[in-house]
């Protein structure tokens, strides 16, 4: 008997009598003002949020390019929409990317996270290998809690999806918070 | 109301004044209190050491001594908990069940059964409250810092009515003192460190006394205080509630 | 694994460095306080815990079905599924995948399961280089140590220690103890590893039966960098990591980070369902004693654990004894109930490394009755004879005395002999109570005697 059968058989023998699956109750939304809560929460975990000011982002990107920094853009409304050109790039070829701009699908007020998927990031390594990550999100897509988020998304619609909440961070050295571990050193979110 | 007084073994041996205060306090509030002379121990020391299987004799003795009362009351949350959870008597299952369902820790008995609202006691001192784990987390005598629940405390409710008493809480309001039954000797180093940390926090509040509902915890803290030659004393909550 | 040193001895050694021990306690208490704050922000926190607990109860009662469902869906998604009965088989499976693909360099993100199976050891022995990429794990790996905490692997170390280690291995400036400087140094070295490795190994936080995918939570982004930068991704998981549906992630992700560090969520909660183009994605489902634990009625509940470590941070014993004193890949209260399942003899001391204060049970997001299980393990371990003869006979004497009121009064009179039982418990002639504590002063008479003298109608 292979391990698969051995394990399944052992479970059958040892598992308790059936326990019913509970309904997930409708939990409190925790906020009446998802936009503000989202901004507050994301700010408190190290993100930088700009509301309703797309021009600021445009100017920022112009400046980045002037400074000779590599920008990869996944937002059609902005100049140089080029993210899909990088779809098959290897990590080793993306090492020098400074800024990546992508679209978020859903933002969650209670924890400041944003859902992004294959179709908006093109190459899975991009949001992690860049120094600076910028996410653009539509205000209408801010939900209150994770429960609401999972109602809206279908997690297996695409091969990969991730909730991103702030810049990468660690506190593994004496519990001192350091922003910028292996992923981006900063996260900016533009709400439009 | 016929009340059986259960005095844990170490209280009987080392802290008779706590037992006397409990007895007087209950009588003061109208209970007919009996102290069965042949009682010994709840059996917890063996059970927590992994030898609950040896406690049949203890259980038998306990049932024999205490099955004839309306209520059984004890000035120790820990021992009460043990009886509530583990008392079994194959020979007299009904009596054992009666005991398990009618045993109360002292403060809980005062607030919930006797429903005492105004205690007439006076203890004009700065007093630190040590919350014992078994009373709190398992008998639910007060709210717990880990849980999201309304805050309450049966001990505080009673102590707030004591004249002159100034109640002070340590920084970590309900951290364990490290007594833990046989843990206090099998894990001597950790046990003592935990106790020292509790004592340090109480001292930071300039307390004169540390009180609580479980003499075992207090005995452990007292051992540390005395070794430190500290002026801080320990006093069981029954003694405070009985003080004039 | 054979244990030579008891938890109590390791703990005593840990406490010798008073300043460091106090720091360890204070720091982890602070994490617990952050957890409290985060929990209190969620008004229906207790209901959330209850729901999580019930979902896990249900899942365990139907575990075989869910694993089959998961396997089917995962295969449809293009994931290659493997089954391993024990740690060895798991290691062998991973090794075979790696050799078949000519892999030389592997990056690995945090996975308590691979620690449990000692995968690093195994691969190292076979000549394969594995780099742990979680910063804390990287630090302990450089020092040839084990993680001392499942969420904060290097919590036993001070920045001076890290500075020294990095100076030695990464040639950072001597005595530069700035955490940002040190983190950046590691970032640079590990970046290189991420992009030059041939395969990535990750753990799994949740696997979803309904969709055949899995979720990994990190703050550093190391699991993603590894998995996305490499052609081979191997995810290793214990079979208890299954949850039925996607909507359940809402419940668990709300609890996990809040319980672990007080964050509202980890920086990355990554959902993997299909490999990227040209990539191999493997998942190894591991038993290693879990089905046995499932059959132990009193302990099966421990399989609900989501490895948040809240029980570590709140445990007054863990905070004052450090993770290494538990001589098991998972330390703390939950480790103390998982370890005896793997090896009773080697871990018989662990269920005693607790005062049974119950704080662990209160913080546990899936409501595992940890302190009750510690108590139950004690009973079983003593029954199986892992307590030693001296302890057993001391307990027998104690039981005999306490069940007989005549004997009891007599032993009391003989100088309040109650505390006289203590030395036998640890096989030591000196009374350990008195080492750092005074004995209570014996009163003139016991309460029993007072009562007889003062109240006639007892
Ligand atoms: S036992 Fe509970 S508190 Fe401890 S690590 Fe597991 S889930 Fe977290």
Q: Which residues of chain B have pLDDT under 70?
A: none
Residues 87 through 126 of chain B touching chain C, CB cutoff 8 Å: none
| Ligand 1 pocket, residue C310 CB under 6 Å | yes
A182 φ, ψ to 5°? -95, -30
**Which pLDDT score is estimated for A164?**
98
Instruction: List domains and CATH numbers for chain A.
Output: 30-191 (3.40.50.10420)
| Ligand 1 pocket, residue C366 CB under 6 Å | yes
**Which pLDDT score is estimated for C2?**
45
Across the strands, what pairs with A97?
A70
Contact of C311 with C334, CB cutoff 8 Å: yes
On chain A, the residues whose CB falls within 8 A of the CB of C158 are 174
- The 8-class DSSP code of residue B135 comes to I
Judged against a pLDDT cut of 50, whether residue C68 lies above it is answered with yes
Cβ–Cβ contact B16 with C under 8 A: yes
Confidence of residue C425 (pLDDT cuts 50, 70, 90): low
Looking at the CA of residue C150, tell me the nearest atom of ligand 1: 5
| Tally: H helices and E strands in chain A | 6, 11
Contact of B167 with B127, CB cutoff 8 Å: yes
Instruction: List domains and CATH numbers for chain B.
Output: 2-113 (3.40.50), 126-241 (no CATH)
User: In terms of C-beta density within 10 A (0-12 exposed, 13-18 middle, 19 or more buried), how is residue C404 classed?
Assistant: middle
Rounded Cα distance between C91 and C111, Å, is 13
CA of C370 to the centre of ligand 1 (A): 9
Are B54 and C321 in contact (CB < 8 Å)? no
Rounded Cα distance between C312 and C328, Å, is 13
Our answer on whether B and A touch (3+ beta-carbon pairs < 8 Å) is: no
**Which pLDDT score is estimated for C407?**
75
Count of alpha carbons within 13 angstroms of residue C217, beta-carbon side: 24
On chain C, the residues whose CB falls within 8 A of the CB of A163 are 253, 265, 268-269
- Which tokens is C341 given? 């399942």
Judged against a pLDDT cut of 70, whether residue A129 lies above it is answered with yes
CA C132 from chain center: how many Å?
18
Confidence of residue C387 (pLDDT cuts 50, 70, 90): confident
* Chains with 3 or more CB pairs under 8 A to chain B: C
Q: Where are the domains of chain C?
A: 1-39+308-387, 42-288, 402-457
Rounded Cα distance between C29 and C31, Å, is 5
**Which pLDDT score is estimated for C414?**
45
Identify the residue with better confidence: C426 or C27.
Answer: C27
pLDDT tens digits for C110-128? 999 999 999 999 999 999 9
pLDDT tens digits for C307-358? 999 999 999 999 999 999 999 999 999 999 999 999 999 999 999 999 999 9
User: Domain C42-288 is classified in which CATH homologous superfamily?
Assistant: NagB/RpiA/CoA transferase-like (3.40.50.10420)
Confidence of residue C419 (pLDDT cuts 50, 70, 90): low
Rounded Cα distance between C118 and C134, Å, is 17
| Ligand 1 pocket, residue C257 CB under 6 Å | no
Rounded Cα distance between A142 and A38, Å, is 8
**Which pLDDT score is estimated for C422?**
58
Cβ neighbors of B47 (< 8 A, separation 6 or more) are B55, B82, B86, C375, C379
**Residues A107-140 as b or e (16 or more Cβ within 10 Å = b):** bbbbbbbbbbbbebbbbbbbbbbbbbbbbbbeee
Looking at the CA of residue C333, tell me the nearest atom of ligand 1: 4
Looking at the CA of residue C332, tell me the nearest atom of ligand 1: 4
Mean pLDDT of C25-48: 97
Cβ–Cβ contact B186 with C under 8 A: yes
Q: Where are the alpha helices (DSSP H) in B105-148?
A: 106-108, 133
Contact of C334 with C369, CB cutoff 8 Å: no
On chain A, the residues whose CB falls within 8 A of the CB of C190 are 182
Contact of C263 with C41, CB cutoff 8 Å: no
Q: Smallest Cα–Cα separation from B165: which of B101, B237, B79?
A: B237
CA C249 from chain center: how many Å?
22
Are B51 and C438 in contact (CB < 8 Å)? no
Judged against a pLDDT cut of 50, whether residue A89 lies above it is answered with yes
CA of C332 to the centre of ligand 1 (A): 9
| Ligand 1 pocket, residue C139 CB under 6 Å | no
Report the mean per-residue pLDDT for chain A: 96
C-alpha distances in angstroms, C325 versus C7, C116, C146, C305, C331? Answer: 5, 16, 11, 21, 8
- Which tokens is C214 given? 């899995």
How many residues in total does chain A contain? 192
Q: Write the secondary structure of B151-204 as one string of H (helix), E (strand) and C (coil).
A: CCEHHHHHHCCCECCEEECCCCCCCCCCCCCCHHHHCHHHHHHHHHHHHHHHHH
Cβ neighbors of A10 (< 8 A, separation 6 or more) are C287, C291, C292, C294, C295
Rounded Cα distance between B47 and B41, Å, is 12
Identify the sign of the CA torsion A170, A176, A179, A180: negative
Confidence of residue C441 (pLDDT cuts 50, 70, 90): confident
Take atom 2 of ligand 1 and give the residue whose Cα is closest. C364
pLDDT tens digits for C183-231? 999 999 999 999 999 999 999 999 999 999 999 999 999 999 999 999 9
Report the mean per-residue pLDDT for chain C: 93
Rounded Cα distance between C9 and C428, Å, is 13
Rounded Cα distance between C221 and C217, Å, is 9
Identify the residue with better confidence: C392 or A132.
Answer: A132
**Which pLDDT score is estimated for C1?**
42
- The DSSP annotation for C181-212 comes to HHHHHHHHHHHHHHHH-SEEEE--SEEETTTT
**Which pLDDT score is estimated for B135?**
92
| Ligand 1 pocket, residue C256 CB under 6 Å | no
Confidence of residue C420 (pLDDT cuts 50, 70, 90): low
pTM for this predicted structure: 0.95
Rounded Cα distance between C77 and C166, Å, is 42
Report the SS3 class of residue A189.
strand
Judged against a pLDDT cut of 50, whether residue A49 lies above it is answered with yes
Rounded Cα distance between C192 and C211, Å, is 34
**Which pLDDT score is estimated for C405?**
75
Radius of gyration, alpha carbons of chain B: 17
Radius of gyration, alpha carbons of chain A: 20
C-alpha distances in angstroms, C430 versus B179, B184, C385, C435, C442? Answer: 18, 14, 24, 8, 19
On chain B, the residues whose CB falls within 8 A of the CB of C416 are 13-14
Label residue C288 left, alpha or beta by phi (over 0 means left) and psi (-120 to 50 means alpha): left
CA of C289 to the centre of ligand 1 (A): 18
| Ligand 1 pocket, residue C255 CB under 6 Å | no
**Which pLDDT score is estimated for C413?**
57
Which of B2, B40, B218 is the best residue to mutate to test the C interface, defined by the most C CB atoms within 10 Å of its own CB?
A: B40
On chain A, the residues whose CB falls within 8 A of the CB of C159 are 173-174, 176
pLDDT tens digits for A55-76? 999 999 999 999 999 999 999 9
- The 8-class DSSP code of residue A4 comes to H
Across the strands, what pairs with C129?
C105
Residues 38 through 97 of chain C touching chain B, CB cutoff 8 Å: 39-40, 42-43, 45-46
**Which pLDDT score is estimated for C434?**
87
CA of C18 to the centre of ligand 1 (A): 28
Across the strands, what pairs with B2?
B32
pLDDT tens digits for B209-224? 999 999 999 999 999 9
CA B146 from chain center: how many Å?
21
Q: Smallest Cα–Cα separation from B15: which of B212, B195, B230, B154?
A: B212
Judged against a pLDDT cut of 70, whether residue C415 lies above it is answered with no
**Which pLDDT score is estimated for A87?**
96
| Ligand 1 pocket, residue C308 CB under 6 Å | yes
Judged against a pLDDT cut of 90, whether residue A135 lies above it is answered with yes
């Amino acid at each position: 008997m292979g391990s698969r059968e051995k394990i399944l058989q052992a479970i059958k023998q040892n598992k308790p009598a059936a326990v019913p699956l509970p309904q997930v109750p409708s939990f409190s939304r925790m906020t009446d003002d998802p936009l503000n809560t989202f901004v507050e929460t994301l700010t408190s975990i190290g993100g930088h949020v700009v509301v309703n000011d797309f021009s600021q982002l445009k100017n920022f990107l112009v400046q980045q390019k002037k400074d000779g920094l590599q920008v990869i853009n996944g937002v059609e409304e902005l100049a140089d929409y080029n993210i899909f050109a990088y779809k098959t790039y290897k990590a080793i070829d993306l090492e020098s990317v400074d800024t990546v701009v992508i679209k978020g699908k859903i933002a969650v007020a209670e924890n400041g996270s944003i859902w992004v998927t294959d179709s908006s990031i093109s190459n899975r390594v991009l949001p992690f290998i860049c120094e600076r990550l910028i996410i653009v999100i539509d205000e209408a897509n801010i939900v209150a809690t994770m429960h609401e988020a999972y109602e809206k998304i279908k997690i297996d619609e695409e091969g990969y999806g991730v909730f991103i909440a702030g810049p990468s961070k660690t506190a593994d050295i004496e519990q001192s918070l350091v922003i910028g571990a292996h992923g981006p050193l900063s996260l900016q979110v533009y709400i439009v | 109301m016929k009340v059986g007084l259960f005095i844990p073994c170490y209280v009987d041996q080392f802290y008779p004044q706590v037992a006397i205060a409990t007895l007087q306090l209950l009588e003061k509030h109208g209970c007919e209190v009996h102290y069965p002379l042949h009682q010994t121990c709840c059996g917890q020391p063996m059970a927590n050491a992994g030898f609950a299987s040896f406690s049949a004799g203890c259980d038998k003795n306990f049932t024999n001594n205490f099955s004839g009362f309306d209520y059984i009351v004890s000035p120790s949350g820990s021992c009460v908990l043990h009886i509530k959870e583990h008392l079994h008597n194959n020979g007299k299952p009904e009596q054992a069940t009666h005991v398990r369902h009618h045993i109360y820790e002292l403060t809980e008995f005062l607030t919930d059964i006797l429903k005492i609202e105004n205690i007439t006691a006076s203890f004009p001192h700065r007093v630190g409250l040590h919350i014992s784990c078994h009373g709190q987390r398992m008998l639910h005598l007060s709210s717990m810092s880990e849980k999201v629940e309304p805050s309450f405390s049966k001990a505080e409710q009673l102590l707030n009515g004591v004249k002159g008493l100034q109640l002070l809480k340590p920084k970590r309001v309900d951290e364990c003192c490290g007594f833990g039954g046989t843990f206090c000797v099998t894990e001597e180093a950790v046990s003592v460190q935990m106790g020292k940390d509790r004592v340090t926090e109480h001292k930071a509040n300039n307390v004169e006394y540390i009180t609580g509902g479980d003499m075992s915890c207090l005995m452990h803290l007292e051992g540390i205080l005395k070794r430190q030659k500290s002026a801080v004393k320990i006093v069981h909550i029954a003694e405070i509630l009985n003080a004039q | 694994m054979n244990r030579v040193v008891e938890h109590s001895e390791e703990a005593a050694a840990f406490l010798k460095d008073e300043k460091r021990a106090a720091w360890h306690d204070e720091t982890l208490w602070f994490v617990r306080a952050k957890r409290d704050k985060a929990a209190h922000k969620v008004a229906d926190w207790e209901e959330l815990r209850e729901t999580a607990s019930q979902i896990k109860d249900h899942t365990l009662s139907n575990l075989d079905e869910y694993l089959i469902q998961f396997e089917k869906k995962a295969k449809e998604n293009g994931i290659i599924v493997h089954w391993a009965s024990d740690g060895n088989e798991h290691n062998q499976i991973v090794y075979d995948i790696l050799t078949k693909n000519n892999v030389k360099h592997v990056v690995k993100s945090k996975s308590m399961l691979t620690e449990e199976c000692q995968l690093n050891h195994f691969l190292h022995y076979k000549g394969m280089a594995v780099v742990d990429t979680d910063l804390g794990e990287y630090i302990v790996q450089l020092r040839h140590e084990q993680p001392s905490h499942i969420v904060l692997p290097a919590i036993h170390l001070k920045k001076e220690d890290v500075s020294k280690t990095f100076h030695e291995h990464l040639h950072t400036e001597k005595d530069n103890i700035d955490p940002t400087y040190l983190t950046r140094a590691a970032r640079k070295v590990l970046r290189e590893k991420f992009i030059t490795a041939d395969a990535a190994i990750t753990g799994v936080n949740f696997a979803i039966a309904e969709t055949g995918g899995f979720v990994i939570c990190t703050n550093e982004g190391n699991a993603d960098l590894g998995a996305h930068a490499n052609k081979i991704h191997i995810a290793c998981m214990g079979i208890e990591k299954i949850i039925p549906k996607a909507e359940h992630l809402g419940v668990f992700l709300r609890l996990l980070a809040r319980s672990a560090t007080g964050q509202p969520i980890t920086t990355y909660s990554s959902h993997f369902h299909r490999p990227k183009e040209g990539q191999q994605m493997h998942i190894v489902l591991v038993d290693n004693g879990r089905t046995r634990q499932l059959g132990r009625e009193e302990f099966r509940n421990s399989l609900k654990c989501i490895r948040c470590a809240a029980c570590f941070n709140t445990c007054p014993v863990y905070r004052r004894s450090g993770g290494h004193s538990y001589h098991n890949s998972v330390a703390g209260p939950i480790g103390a109930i998982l370890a005896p399942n793997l090896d009773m003899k080697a871990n018989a001391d662990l269920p005693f490394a607790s005062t049974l204060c119950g704080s662990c049970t209160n913080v546990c997001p899936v409501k595992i009755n940890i302190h009750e299980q510690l108590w139950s393990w004690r009973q079983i371990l003593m029954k199986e004879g892992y307590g030693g003869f001296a302890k057993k006979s001391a307990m027998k004497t104690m039981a005999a005395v306490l069940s007989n009121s005549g004997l009891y009064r007599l032993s009391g009179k003989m100088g309040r002999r109650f505390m006289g039982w203590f030395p036998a418990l640890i096989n030591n002639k000196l009374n350990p109570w008195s080492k750092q504590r005074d004995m209570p002063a014996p009163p003139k008479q016991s309460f029993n005697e007072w009562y007889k003298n003062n109240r006639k109608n007892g």
